[in-house]
Amino acid sequence: MKVKRIILVPLVLILALGAGLALALLYVYQHPAALKRLMEDSLSARFGVAVTIGELEYSLQPMQARAARIAVRDAKSGNDLDLSVARLNAAFALEGPLGRRTLVIERMALAGVSVMPGGG
């Protein structure tokens, strides 16, 4: 009886974690606005600038992403940097052996790029 419990408890935990991860991925796939906010917050924190993304679309087959109206401003003063991108299109692939896959950017195209130092 004790051996069954030792095997059953970790198995149930692994299945519960797997189901939770699957539900989280399904939610993000069905709600692009949640991923957009996550990306804005992550990029802003990583680079110390305020990043806003107007629109975000993505697909898994083929693996690609499209974004529009991307704006980057200095997070502290709000006017030391003004960078905007009207459209960004990117194609990705997962390469490498299973378990050690790496996300590779195959193609990226930017349109309507504008950089103005001093918030001009």
Q: What is the 3-state secondary structure (H, E, C) of 66-105?
A: EEEEEEEEECCCCCCEEEEEEEEEEEEEEECCCCCCEEEE
Instruction: Give tens-digit pLDDT for 71-89.
Output: 888 767 656 677 889 999 9
- Domains of the chain (ranges, CATH numbers): 31-117 (3.10.450)
Instruction: Give tens-digit pLDDT for 32-47.
Output: 888 889 889 988 888 8
Quote the percentage of the chain above a pLDDT of 70.
91
